[in-house]
Amino acid sequence: MNSIGTTLAIWQRLTRLPAGRWLFSKLVCFKAPYFASIRPKFITLRPGYSELQIKKRHAVLNHIGTVHAIAICNMAELAAGTATDVTIPTTHRWIPIGMTVEYLKKANTDLCAIAELDKIPPCDGKIEIPVNVNVMDTENNIVLRAVITMRISPKN
Contact 3, 91 (CB under 8 A): no
pLDDT of residue 5: 81
Q: Is the dihedral of CA 53, 59, 65, 70 positive or negative?
A: negative
**For the segment 14-59, what is each residue's pLDDT rounded down to a tens digit?**
999 999 999 999 999 999 999 999 999 999 999 999 999 999 999 9
Give every CB contact of residue 118 below 8 A, 6+ residues apart in sequence: 48, 129
- Full set of structural domains in the chain with CATH: 6-154 (3.10.129.10)
**For the segment 106-154, what is each residue's pLDDT rounded down to a tens digit?**
999 999 999 999 887 777 789 999 999 999 999 999 999 999 999 999 9
Cα-based angle 10, 12, 14 (whole degrees, multiple of 5): 65
CA distance 106 to 124: 42
The three-state secondary structure class of 32 is: coil
pTM: 0.93
**For the segment 56-115, what is each residue's pLDDT rounded down to a tens digit?**
999 999 999 999 999 999 999 999 999 999 999 888 999 999 999 999 999 999 999 999
pLDDT of residue 2: 45
